[in-house]
Each structure stands twice: as C-alpha cells, then as structure tokens.
Structure 1
C-alpha cells in the first residue's frame, strides 16, 4: 500500500494552522464575551491558505481528507457568522479540535493529483458537493448542541454558552433544508450531465448509491418534520443516519481507495 503525503512546506503550514487553532481556542476561552471569538480568526485564515495551497498549487490534489478539511472550514465559517448573531455560543474547543485535526489529516492524505477537468462545469459540481457537506455538517453540530441542551434541561442543569432549544432546533432544520437543496442539485447534475462532467455515463457505484440513500433519508426527515412535526431525539437520529450515509458516499469511498487499497490515481 502506497500513501502520498504532502510536501514539507504544506506540512509546515498544516502544523502552524493546527497550533493556531489550539492557541485561538485557549485565548478565546480565557477572554469570555466581547470579541473573544476573533482569537480564532488567524487559524481560520491559515486554514483557508492551506486549502488554497492544496488546490491552486503547481500540482493540485483532492481526496477524502481534502473534502473533510473543506467541510470543517465551512463549519467554522458558519460558526463565525453565527457568533455575531448569537454571542452566547461557545463551542471553540470542539471546533478548534475539528479544524486542527482536519488540516493535519489533509496533509497526511493529500489525495490524487487533479487533471484538467473533462468539463468546465466540473469545479462547480464539486463546489456544490462540498457546500452540501458543509451545510449538513453544520446541521449535525447544531443537532448535537440541541441534544446536549435538552439533556441539561432534563437534569435541571444550568445552561452555559448555549442557545435556546427552539433556536437550535430552528437553525438545525434550516441547515438541513438548504443542504437538501444543494444535494438535490448535485445529484440531478451528476445524473443528467455525467458524460459532460466525468466523460462517462452515470454509474450506480458506491458513491451514487450512498448519495441517493442519503437524499431519501433527508427527504423523509423533512417530510416527517412538515407533516408530523418530528422533533427531538427521533429527528436527530434520522439526521445522523442521513449524514453518515452522505459521509460514506464520497469520503468513505475515497478513504477505501486511497488508504485501504492505496489507489491515489
């Protein structure tokens, strides 16, 4: 099994970014309130630079780890925007660990070299897919926060750094709805324009099967929410199931190819 690793300069940037995430989370935790969350801004900017380094360099690469790193960066971007609206949100250590781990994983497994795409629309198709991953990842994070807040309420514990339960629930399903729209657009584009995008007809491979299963799961979740008022643990479990299927669709299949089978071409 042959695994590619990033260049020394990319590794250095990844290590500096991970350290910046840890330092930013520590500083932000000590300076509660105000603009304390801006301590994470340098790490966020370095993460963006690391992504650009991998995609815009002399030999661009892409794979499962790069997809996870982009997804983590999008979740952190959403958190930064939400923090302006909801200052009481405090998940810095969790998101800092997520960002640091993702950027190091992308350096360890940079993926396969990217060739000239068969279609100029392929970058847009990939962008839609990554944005879809980011929105559903944000939904999962909010669902976890919602479950934690509900558990604390049942234990009559004081809620520290948490949004009201109804606000978390509303945000969770807002991300699910927009993620579902992007997932639908990605699947339709892949089905109708597969030959133009990839130079081959649509194939019912592992990626396609898991993507369609994820789409069906999220459709059932949104339908159950609209028609039957699904909420709480049942809704969260369905969301987690759909997110896991979606994760297996690209990240899982590429992980098997790149790490288990050692195919990076």
Structure 2
C-alpha cells in the first residue's frame, strides 16, 4: 500500500522542508492577522506564493514526476492566490487573505501526504497542455466560488444595513464573479473538446463515459445554465451563487473526487 507516510519516507528532506515552510508562510497572516500590519501580511502572502510555486515545481520535476488529485488541488490554490494578488493591485479593498491562506496551507499539506501516481514516461507531448487547461479551469471556477462567497457576505451586510468600509461594492463583486465563471467555462469547454477529439493520443484511449466525464459534463451544463440564465433572464443573487457552488462541486468531483477514490480509497481496500 502507498500510505500517507510514503512522501515523508521517500522524498528528499529539502522538499519536505520546502512544503513545511510554505504551510508556515500561509498560516502567518492568519494567526497574526490582528497584530500584523497590512504590508507585513502582504509580504507573508508573497513569500507563501513563491514557496508554493517552488513546491509545485519540485513535485513536477521529481523523478519520476507524480500527479494526482492533491497536486491538482495544490495548483488550483496557487492559481487562486495568483489571481488574488493581481486583483489586490486593481481593487485594494478586496479582502480574502484568511480564506485563501487556509486553503493554500491545506492544499500544500494534502499534496505532500498524497503526491499521486507516477506519470507515464511515454505520455503525449500535448498532455501537459491538456492538464494545464483543466487546472486553469479549476482555478478560475474556484476563484468564482471565493468571489461568490464574498458577494453573499456583502449582500447580507447590505440587508442588515451594516457599513463595511473594507469591503468591495456588491455590483463590483458580482461583475468579477461572472467574469471568472465565464473564463472558467471557456477553458472547461476547451478541456472537454480536447479530451473528446484527442483522447486516444492524449491518454491512449478514446473518449468513454466514466465518472470523470459525467461529472465534468454536469459541471459544464451547470455553468452553461448559469451564464444563459444571467444573459437571458437576469439571473443573480442567491440562485446564481447556488449554481456556482453546484457547478464547482461537480467539477471538483470530476477529477479530484474520482482520483481521490482511485488513489486513496481503493488503495486502502487493497491493502
């Protein structure tokens, strides 16, 4: 059995130290939020961003390179942090450090406990591009979920007549949320089309109906329905947020969920 101790027993110590440093850098802004100045918190997040990138690179350049549900989640979390850093420059009132820090720390921890399976040596040269499209759609949809949560919080505070000087206007959050949904939907469409048209050259087998395919298509329909509902019927508010959550959950089950079953649950039963 390939247990969760495999990483710590078989991976060089510097990689373990790098992962632990990344987790610590993520947790600093959370644990010291009340005592740290804003510029210090930003420096901590930047350090976490760099360390996280190095951790991902270490996993991909290892011999053999590994990939699975946890590394996919780790890359998704890093993309979310990247988009947040860009947004902070454009919209200084954006506040999601605590949520992203905790998600980043958990994603890095999971990627070390469950590093995935070795990637095929003779895989298609286009496979990394296909994986990149999928991970990018994950990241954009995950960013949409975070913004949808911020949008719901802003709406609740507006209904309660609570003044939030550090928050962003509700309409701005709504526009950003649907921009992420649209971009994620486009990349998800490209990922599905690539798998359908070039599945045999990418994975050595043609398109077939499995859990990954079914959940991916269900997520695609959820996001398509959301975007059509918004453009044709003005769908917004709680109903739109619930559809975003549903689509993101289905997308999470499509790859991370199915790979979790294969890499963890099935291996546990075989042991």
Structure 2 length as normaliser, TM-score? 0.92
In the other structure, the counterpart of 1:39 is 44
1:154 and 1:136 map into 2 onto residues whose CA distance is 27
CA contact (8 A) 2:127 2:202 kept: yes
Query: Which among 214, 223, 239 is matched to residue 219 of structure 2?
Result: 214
Greater Cα offset, 158-167 or 207-216: 158-167
Query: Which among 253, 259, 262 is matched to residue 254 of structure 1?
Result: 259
2:165 and 2:68 map into 1 onto residues whose CA distance is 38
1:182 and 1:92 map into 2 onto residues whose CA distance is 26
1:112 and 1:61 map into 2 onto residues whose CA distance is 5
Q: Secondary structure at the match of 2:267?
A: coil
Matches within 5 A, 1:86-101: 86-101=91-106
In the other structure, the counterpart of 2:67 is 62
Residue 195 of structure 1 pairs with residue 182 of structure 2: no
- Quote how far apart the aligned CAs of 1:13 are: 1.5
1:245 and 1:39 map into 2 onto residues whose CA distance is 32
Show structure 1 runs of 5+ residues with no match.
none
2:56 and 2:29 map into 1 onto residues whose CA distance is 19
In the other structure, the counterpart of 1:18 is 23
What do you get for the CA RMSD once the two structures are aligned? 1.8
Query: Which among 123, 127, 130 is matched to residue 118 of structure 1?
Result: 123
2:167 and 2:43 map into 1 onto residues whose CA distance is 19
In the other structure, the counterpart of 1:173 is 178
1:150 and 1:32 map into 2 onto residues whose CA distance is 28
- Quote how far apart the aligned CAs of 1:27 are: 5.7
Distance 1:38 1:117, change over 3 A: farther
CA contact (8 A) 1:61 1:111 kept: yes
Show structure 2 runs of 5+ residues with no match.
none
CA offsets per residue over residues 198-227 of structure 1, 9 Å max, x none? 111111000001001110111000000000
In the other structure, the counterpart of 1:183 is 188
- Quote how far apart the aligned CAs of 1:57 are: 1.7
